[in-house]
Structure 1
Amino acid sequence: MPVLSLLRDLVAVDSTSGTSGEAAVLRRVALEFEGVEEARVAFAPGADGEPTALLVSPAVVAADRPLLVFASHADVVPVTDASAWTHDPFASTVVGDRLHGRGTSDMKSGLAASVVAVRDLLRRGAPVALAVSTGEEVGCLGAPAVVDLLAGLRVGAVVIPESTDGRVVLGHRGALWLTVRTSGVAAHGSTPERGHNAILDLVAVLGRLDDLPLSVHADLGRETVNVGVVSGGSVPNIVPDVCEVRIDLRVVRDDVGELVGWWRDQPEVTDVRVDLDLAAVWTPRDHPWLAGLDAPVSEAPASYFTDASVLVRSLDDGVPVVVWGPGDPTVVHTVDESVSVDAVLRAVEQFGRVGERWAAEH
């Protein structure tokens, strides 16, 4: 089966974020379109000359004909201890209906299914495209390169084939990552009154988190805040003059200025750096395109963010974006990650039917 052969090849590549394996996956995907005259293959080069994104689109498409884009990512999270796995994380071992390996669910199964479906659809003249990014697992770093590759093309709908167990998920919250600093005055630990303790200042700020102006979205739910990393001080006998905290806010609003402003307005805070600003994504349940997707629609949004957070800022208003793929969301990023073989085969068929319907209607 072509999709399983491709999936095995993709899983065999250790494409941990930030490694050469990411580019290797992009090149392996591009190979699937060699000899397909109806396909145009384009890479976005990075600073080191290695590709950071890939776009496969129709070789010829009318300017007014919108594309259905399947947008995936090539990278995976690290395997920290291969000995803890029951099977080699890069061997694609099949046991029963499960294919095991790092990235099988997140999201090389969705990528492989998209490749096979898009290749077949392009051969039949359908207005579809495949986009593949890098660095998604570390903040959607390659997604802006996908936006650049799509420039000049009209995008009509987007499928993100992430791990949803075959259900159509209508969106997810965005992410705002901040580094917040407090500053003090160093002094000997035996005379703390001669200094000013930056750690205690940060403690005071974090003690006011209940005052953070968090919003609620009817479908995406409540905004949340997580104190992820706190760093400050060097040794016990020095009053710390600097303390920093890294904050992960999951947001439902378009404009995050109020949230950033809250941190900057705290009297103890001396600096706020925005490390990541990803948009929330939501497609209304009554959007007419959803009726033709041939899959159940989830009542809940995805808990994670995707490259859609970057893509939506470049799309026309009203363009539907869904997260929909064969991966199992309960095993992503885990030891013994795996995916259902049947789910992968089913995804190829579903993506093909959706593409055919899109071509008939556009």
Structure 2
Amino acid sequence: MEDKKALKILSDLIGIESANDHETVVADYLADLFKDYPVKITRVQYAEDRDNLVIDMGQQGPLLGFSGHEDVVSAGSLDNWHTPPFAATIKDGNLYGRGASDMKSGLAAMVVAMLDLLESDQELPGRIRLLASVGEETGEYGAAQLTKEGYADDLDGLIIGESSNCDVVVTHKGVIDYYVTSKGVTVHSSTPEKGKNAIMPLIKFAEQAQAKMDSHDQVDPVLGPLTHVISQIQGGSQINSVPDSAWLSGNIRTTPLYPNDQIYQELEEIVAELNQQGAELTIRYSFPEVPLPNQKHTKLAKLAQAVIKEKMNYGGNFVADTGATDASEYIRAKGNFPIIIMGPAPGNVAHEPNEYTPVSNYLDGCKLYQDLAWKFWQEYAK
């Protein structure tokens, strides 16, 4: 494919405002690109205006999964942007726009690779399945749905196109987002003894939860320490009333040394103890994700590293990530297949204003995914 056409696909995707929802427009655009090719196109609706998209190409042979999410984070204040966030702008060799790094460049490069393979004169010895998911930025629930409905069960390997500057991410932390709510009784602030302050038990919870998480001082040699942040706290209606409700949220990044189930139990024990003392606390979790087990010894990771180092003058290192990806859902599939994360864009600008990817990186990624597919088919057919 000509570079101009490949860049148009990425630019078009960035032009779609799929910030935290409205992913169906992305699915529509991608489906239209493949409409004249011998592929199977399946829409998997998560909610209104939120369609996952699955595209299958090839008739036989090893099945390689390509994974990318359709949503992006909010652009935030436009005052912080030098260029319009939802209009791709090329300047000084970089392409700017929301999603240029995370992760429409990876998704577009995978699509370009598939289109080029479909247009090649060679008979394809294997298959590719594109899994384009909704809601990755807010909980990986598109990938969770695709996994639950079996779309990953028969994969022989999966590459997730998150930004990595063409390094091979072989493991990453898990994540637990939790919310604790507190009930009280509101009265006039001049007679607080008649009421029940909903904020005070939350303060005790925050102190005890932070102390407990800080006590987990074993450091994973690859992923580093478990981290915990109390990220939000709200409550009360006005300054001269005892608050009858309050809530807080927290974010924990877990490692295999401290499994998610252990953390759930510890948080719930704090809630139970405070409730015994008279609090009325409840805790819930929002799409928690487990860590990705280290993939560095898998055939797919070694293959990707070899191809990158052969074809490119950068990337190819095995690295870990502190963030979470759709991999945390796909590892729940029935099949026992390796998963790696590898994308052309730099990851250090994801979610930032003036997010970008070098044009050369993106075009390299388009070719690299093709080379990886060919090598994968050859190696996994043995």
Superposition TM-score, scaled by structure 2 size: 0.86
For residues 259-290 of structure 1, the C-alpha deviation after alignment (integer angstroms, 9 at most, x for no partner) is 22222222225211112211211333222322
CA contact (8 A) 2:226 2:252 kept: yes
- The aligned length equals 354
Q: Assess, with a 3 A threshold, how the Cα gap between structure 1 residues 246 and 278 changes in structure 2: closer, same or farther.
A: same
The 10-residue stretch of structure 1 (189-198 or 160-169) with the greater mean CA deviation from structure 2? 189-198
CA contact (8 A) 1:170 1:298 kept: no
- Give the letter aligned to residue 261 of structure 2: G
Whether 2:269 is the aligned partner of 1:268: answer: no
Q: Tell me how far apart the structure 2 counterparts of residues 282 and 3 of structure 1 sit (CA, whole Å).
A: 34
For residues 104-156 of structure 1, the C-alpha deviation after alignment (integer angstroms, 9 at most, x for no partner) is 11111111110011233356423222110112111112212332564385111
Q: How much is the aligned-residue C-alpha RMSD, in angstroms?
A: 2.2
Q: Offset of 1:51 from its aligned partner? A: 5.0
Matched position secondary structure for 2:285: strand
Q: Offset of 1:303 from its aligned partner? A: 2.4
Whether 2:32 is the aligned partner of 1:13: answer: no
CA contact (8 A) 1:121 1:355 kept: no
Q: Tell me how far apart the structure 1 counterparts of residues 261 and 294 of structure 2 sit (CA, whole Å).
A: 23
Unpaired runs of at least 5, structure 2: 276-280, 309-314
- Give the letter aligned to residue 358 of structure 1: F
The 10-residue stretch of structure 1 (338-347 or 75-84) with the greater mean CA deviation from structure 2? 75-84
Q: Assess, with a 3 A threshold, how the Cα gap between structure 1 residues 287 and 241 changes in structure 2: closer, same or farther.
A: same
For residues 33-77 of structure 1, the C-alpha deviation after alignment (integer angstroms, 9 at most, x for no partner) is 12222x2111112443x452111113533xxx5421110011111
- The equivalent residue for 1:161 is 161
Whether 2:372 is the aligned partner of 1:354: answer: yes
Whether 2:241 is the aligned partner of 1:235: answer: no
- The counterpart of 2:260, out of the listed 246, 256, 259, is 256
For residues 5-38 of structure 1, the C-alpha deviation after alignment (integer angstroms, 9 at most, x for no partner) is 211111121111123xx2111111112212222x
Q: Offset of 1:200 from its aligned partner? A: 1.6
- The equivalent residue for 2:311 is none
- The equivalent residue for 2:28 is 27
Q: Tell me how far apart the structure 1 counterparts of residues 350 and 317 of structure 2 sit (CA, whole Å).
A: 18
Unpaired runs of at least 5, structure 1: none
Whether 2:297 is the aligned partner of 1:286: answer: yes
Matched position secondary structure for 1:29: helix
- The equivalent residue for 2:193 is 193
Q: Tell me how far apart the structure 1 counterparts of residues 332 and 299 of structure 2 sit (CA, whole Å).
A: 22
Matched position secondary structure for 2:52: strand
Matched position secondary structure for 2:321: coil
- The equivalent residue for 1:316 is 335
Alignment of 1:336-347 (within 5 A): 336-347=354-365
Alignment of 1:1-362 (within 5 A): 1=3, 2-19=5-22, 22-37=23-38, 39-48=39-48, 50-58=49-57, 60-61=59-60, 65-122=61-118, 124-125=123-124, 126-148=126-148, 150-151=150-151, 154-208=154-208, 209-212=210-213, 214=216, 216-253=219-256, 255-266=259-270, 267-269=273-275, 270-293=281-304, 294-295=307-308, 296-298=315-317, 300-317=319-336, 319-361=337-379, 362=381
Q: Tell me how far apart the structure 1 counterparts of residues 152 and 165 of structure 2 sit (CA, whole Å).
A: 33
Q: Offset of 1:241 from its aligned partner? A: 2.9
CA contact (8 A) 1:132 1:146 kept: no
- Give the letter aligned to residue 295 of structure 2: P
CA contact (8 A) 1:67 1:156 kept: yes
Q: Offset of 1:182 from its aligned partner? A: 3.0
CA contact (8 A) 2:68 2:131 kept: yes
Q: Offset of 1:162 from its aligned partner? A: 0.9
- Give the letter aligned to residue 251 of structure 1: T
For residues 194-251 of structure 1, the C-alpha deviation after alignment (integer angstroms, 9 at most, x for no partner) is 3332212221222222123646433222221110111122222222233211111111
Q: Assess, with a 3 A threshold, how the Cα gap between structure 1 residues 202 and 47 changes in structure 2: closer, same or farther.
A: closer
CA contact (8 A) 1:118 1:129 kept: no
- Give the letter aligned to residue 40 of structure 1: K
Matched position secondary structure for 1:342: helix
Matched position secondary structure for 2:331: helix
- Give the letter aligned to residue 310 of structure 1: E
Q: Offset of 1:163 from its aligned partner? A: 1.1
Q: Tell me how far apart the structure 2 counterparts of residues 81 and 360 of structure 1 sit (CA, whole Å).
A: 48
Q: Assess, with a 3 A threshold, how the Cα gap between structure 1 residues 160 and 151 changes in structure 2: closer, same or farther.
A: closer
